[in-house]
Every structure is written in structure tokens, then in C-alpha cells.
Structure 1
Amino acid sequence: MSKISALGRIPRRTILRAGVAAGALQIASPFILTARGETPVKIGMVNPLTGVLSALAQSEVDGAKYAEAELNKKGGILGRPVELLVEDSANDVGTGVQKTRKLIDRDQVNVILGDVNSGIAAAMGQVTNEKKVFHIVPGGHTDTITGTDCHWNVFRVCNTTSMDTAAITPELVKRFGKKWFFVTPDYAYGHSLQDGFIKALKKLGGTYDGDYLPINNQDFSATLIKAKGYKPDVLLNNMGGLTQINCMKQVVQFGLQKDMALGGALFELESVKACPPDAQTGWWAMEWWWNQPNVPEAVKFVADFRAATKKTPSARDWFGYVAMHSVRLAAERAKSLEGPKMAKAMEDMELPPEVALQPGKVRYRAGDHELMPNIFVGQAHPPKSGPDDVFTASTLVSGEQAAGSVADTGCKMVEPS
């Protein structure tokens, strides 16, 4: 671990909804496509642009579109223009699979990206594996995607749930204690996340209770009454997107923050900013953070991104950005857009500093195809020097340290036939 000191401050933007930023990012692509008259490299992206995860999904799309424009300004991929085709999974597995097949069979995409929802991402992986299409999961966290259900063609940008829990658990136990209560979504991500927390907590002698709730749950009163009666040291809000925001609001309405610490794995920039000030609190793990004054590549990226989109990039924007540039890097190394060749080229590939946008070596691990970035552990709080200044990172945990060994993941990679 390394300490972060003297974190710089950059004023934030107001959240842009839906496709406002996306429209601004497409300026270069149509011109280049027309001017060159070449067959584009088509990248299909499936994400839940409607539903409780829509804000997170839109940021991933924004980051990908920003990269699309950037790539086309610099010559595209393998000398061909890049075209990003985006489909809405509507936070539904069946719809996500249908849209994936449509992009591959009808639109003839070369690569697939998605989904924020881990259950959808896993189902998409079965389709892309069957079709031998190179697939990057920007932001679906469930362990099994690069664990027991890993595929030769699937790579992931965001952390596994086990990486996030391994990074934040020691901090929460050290600061507050080891009696915990979980509020967890009842789908693949939630189960994987809570399992990771329980494993890490038990190693430290901790105890726990909690509830699994629907991914789009609205009323948390019964669970919060149960939590108050349990008297935990820490209440962990494992929900995601709009549901996590609603849970945080109700936690402070019940006044639970006065009786117990708050925290968890992820409380993302989009969600922190959507909460009232008294709910902008707790200790969390950020998978990428914009405020890195000692990393010149990150400073430049944030300034350029804000100039182009009028928003400060979040980890989700970074996920989409990295996914697109990873396609370029894999294709250039493989000198091909064929799935098996790109996958082989991506194994143990290190991201250049202008893509990694953080200290140290960031690579796609060969054994399970998981990216190994830093994890930013720190505290959420109301805005300080600017409206996006809602988190202060105190510690960097390396991805390599948090991930453990490939053997621990259960991934047994089967090469394509």
C-alpha cells in the first residue's frame, strides 16, 4: 500500500443526463467515415441505459464515445475508422443476450463491450464465446466472469468483487470494528460481493447479519429497523445505482449514521453526487479516481475530458475509455481483428500511462484476463473545493495485492478450438 498526500482539487461539472455528452463526442467519426470511405472497425456495446443502473451505464458509454472520437482523430484502429454501436440491455438478461446476438449477426461487429449488470455480462460472455468474438466487460464485477466461468475471449476492466472487498475490509475493521450488517442486492453481483466481504471479515474474526433485497428495491425500512436492532459497528450498503442512492437517503432519515459507521465496496461518483450532503459519507473503494495531481497523464485526461463533455470523468467513464483503447492495443499487437488472435495479444498486456491514468503497472493478467489496477480507498464527504470533490483517497491498494492468485479465482482457461 502507498499513501496519497496533497490530493489536488479540480472543480466539477453538473451531471449531464442521457446522450448530451455522447452527442458532443461524435463530432469526428462521421467526417472520417465519409472522407476515407473505408469499412469501419465496429465495436458493439450493450449496457442498461434504462433502469436503476442507467447513470452508471451512461457514463461507460460516454467514456467509450470519448475514446471513439479520440481514436478516429489519431487514425482509428489498424488504419480503419472506428464506429461504436450502442444497444440498451434494459437491465434484463434476455434483452442483453438478444442485443448481443443482433450486434454480432446483423451489424457484424468485430468486438463486444458490456454489461454493467454482471448477470447480463456473464450471459453475453456465453454468446461471444460461442461466436468467437473478442469481448471486454468494462463494468460488471461478479467474480465468476473472470473466475469459474472465465472464457478465452472475455477480459474485464473493472475489479472483481473480491478485489474490492479485500481492499476495503481491513480499513473498515481497523477504523470501526468487525460486527457488520449487509444491505445487499439479490443478484449475481450482490451475492458475489457479500461472499467476498464475509470471507475477508471471517479471516479477521468478524460477525455479521443482513438482508438480500431486490435490485430495484424502494423501501428499506424493515431492513434498517433490523439493522438498528443488530447494533453493528458498520452498515454496508452494497446496493447499486439509484437503489443505493435511495438506501443512503433512508439510512440518514432513520439517523443510523449516528449509531454506526457506513461504508462498503463501491459508492461511485455518479451516486455520491446524487445524494444529499448528509448521505455523502462513509468509507469506500473507488476503482479509479479523477483527482490525481501527481499523475500528469490523469491531469491532462481530466482537463481534456471536461473540455469535450462538460463533465468530470468517473470510474465508469474510465472503464469505457480503457475498454475502447484496449481494443486498439490488442488489435495493433495482434495485427488482426480476429477474436483468438486479439485475446492472445491482450494477455499480460500493460496499459500505457495515457490509458492507465494512475501510478504503477496496470496489466491484463494472463491467467484470468482480469485487469490489475490500483484501488483507491478513502472517505466520501460533501463537496469541498468543488462539486466533484466528494471523495478523499487515503490509500492505494494494488490490484495484484487485492486479487490474490489466479488459482484462487477458480478460472481454468480453455483455449479456442
Structure 2
Amino acid sequence: MQNQYILIIDFGNQHNQLVARSVREHGVYCEVKPYTITIDEIKSLNPVGIIFTGGSNTEITKLGIPILEVETVVENDVLKNFLYNDCGCIGDWSMTRYIEAKITDIRNKVGDGKALCALSGGVDSSVVAALMSKAIGSQLTCVFVDTGLMRKNEGDEVEEAFSKNFNSHFVRVNAQDRFLNRLKGVTDPETKRKIIGEEFIRVFEDEAKKIGKVDFLVQGTIYPDVIESGVGDSTVIKSHHNVGGLPSVVDFKDLIEPLRPLFKDEVRKIGMELELPDYLVWRQPFPGPGLGIRVIGEVTKEKLDILRDADYIFRDEIAKAGLDRDLNQYFAVITNMKSVGVTGDERTYDYTLALRAVKTTDFMTAEWARIPYEILDLASRRIINEVKNINRIVYDITSKPPATIEWE
């Protein structure tokens, strides 16, 4: 797919992804590259314009390509003028064109081979499964790995949705014990992410052997996953299980990641164009490592079961209040901190649960959500009364940055 190209050169500015999203919203394709990019690499990309975020480079200015320097968030009118007047952009970036081009690419790459799709049931993997199914149909097998790190009832919901709605094969793998055994005694967040990522791949390799010769592994990697896992010399915010957490050797010919250049809102647009049901397209975002990174400290079945019940109640109250479309992500986190409480006339010493809700346009920055006190009160009372081993609830009022959306 040939689109006009805007190059964003990152000098360590935390707003680089906001700038990128703004460019895309104007119908122009762009990518973020590190400041270490060479002149020859820039020429090979053939950009119609260059945006510096947080710095500049005198050699690049000699290329004769229009340049915009940005320190923070760029004003809409300034950006539009730069793109359409200075760079001569025509707005040729759209999800309709992207779908058409990507289906052709997938068919050419796969040929008469087979592909295995890593299906979590989240928005990204749902959309990539639909896109792959449209491209290669029965040559695709969607494998849903029930890691034991899923939300309440989620495994059954995923199976119900994907075993009936796609022209591809569906396999559910129950691997709870396998994942929990690997995570025993592990408390470091990055280590947990890498263990979960590696185990994912190993499970897929095992399933591929059962299916027969499988050439390609399909993943729902999206652009923020890539950026947060580190672009060039950029700082790694956190490793995503499908980027930085991948083992170096896998038993597939190649990876297929059709959504890799896209942001979350672009992924949803593709889902709608592919006529996926709303409950899949607007499913609450869920990290690849699942509840493994919403259990602070060591992951145990006891803590997972507590968290599942508490998280379900919080999401239920948000939905009842009609806020489920207004909030971009909301969930519960079980901490490894215990505190003294009182239940009835008895002293308790149980877990502290944190609730988290944010509003965001691109998931690269986010504001904590101002949920009405009455709703927080209802959720808190229900959780304390209905879920054992929790006696204290706190609400996270930290934006991103300085925090990330997830706690680990």
C-alpha cells in the first residue's frame, strides 16, 4: 500500500505519539523513528515532510524536505497547514484502503500455506482474526489459550463468539496449570510479561504440531505496543508480550502482524468495516498478559479468583451507570498489601484492592476518570460485601504520564 509518508523523528519527547495520532487523523500516514536514523534511511522512506519532536538535526534540514519542529502538542491548524500546504498531502490514508491492500498482502504471503492466529478475545486479536479469516478463510486456525489469567466468564464468552462467527477453525486450549506453574514465585513485572509471552509461543507451537504443518503465526500487535516496547534508542516503558517479550526462536516460518502500524481507534474502525459485532469491537481493552499483571507480586489462583470477582462487580456497576462507552479502560488490581479491617465485630487482615479508570484518545496518554462518588461507593460496598479477603478499596487518581494505564 503506497501512501504519502510523514516521518516523525523522536528526540525523546513524550508527546511523539500524540503528534502521530494527530497526523493520522488528518488522513496522512506517518511513522515514528528514533533520532539515530541515518540520512540514507530517511531518503529510502521518501517522506513528503518531516516532524521533529523535542529536538532538531542540521544535516536533515539540508535535504530540502519541509520540516516542522514540535516541542509539545501541535495545534490543529498549524499541523493541517504543514501537511496540506507545505507538504502537499492529499489525505490518502483510510481504513477502507488499508483493508483492501492488507487482504491482498496476506493472500500473497500465505499462498496455499496455513496460519495460526493467537486469539485472546480482545479487540486487537478479534479484528486481526476477522481480517485474516476474510483473507484466507479455512487456511486459518484461531487458537484461544485459556491461561487462567482471564476475566470472569471470559473464556466461555470468547469460545461462544469465535466458534460461530468466523470462516476459520477454532481451538480452545486450557493451559491454566501450565501458566501458573511457570509464574510461581515470580514478582517482577517485566519477568512476568516475558514468561507469559514465551509460554504463549510454546503453547502455539504445540498446537501447530497437532494441526500439521503451519507456516505463519498471526498476532494482534498494534503500533502503541511497538512504541512502548522501545523504538530504537527510545526508553522502554514496558515490554508487551507480543513485542519485547517474544522468545528469539519460534517454530514458524514468519510472523504476520496486519495491525502493527495501527492505533487502537484505527483498529476499531477496521472492526466496524468488517462488520464485527459491537460487543467485540467495543470490548474492554485487556492486556496480553491478562490478569497476570493486575495481580501485584506473585500470581496465585487464590488472588486471581478474588480479583476476577471484584473486577466483574466494578465493570458491572460501570455498565449499569451507562459509563462503559465513556470510559476507555477500567479495571481492578489486587495489590500485595494487606491491612487491618473490621467485618461484623471481628478484626480482619485482608487485601487492598485498587480500582482504575481512564479516558484517552490514543492510549499513549490518559487522564484518570472522574467517576461520580455514588458509583464508586456502590462498587466498593458490593465488592466488600460479596468478595472474600478484601477489606479496603482505593481509587487510582494518577494520569499517564507519569503512570502507565496498567499497574505492571
TM-score (norm. length: structure 1): 0.28
Larger Rg over CA atoms: 2
Greater relative contact order, per chain length (Cα 8 Å cut-off, separation 6+): 1
Q: Which has the higher strand share?
A: 2
More helix as a share of residues: 1
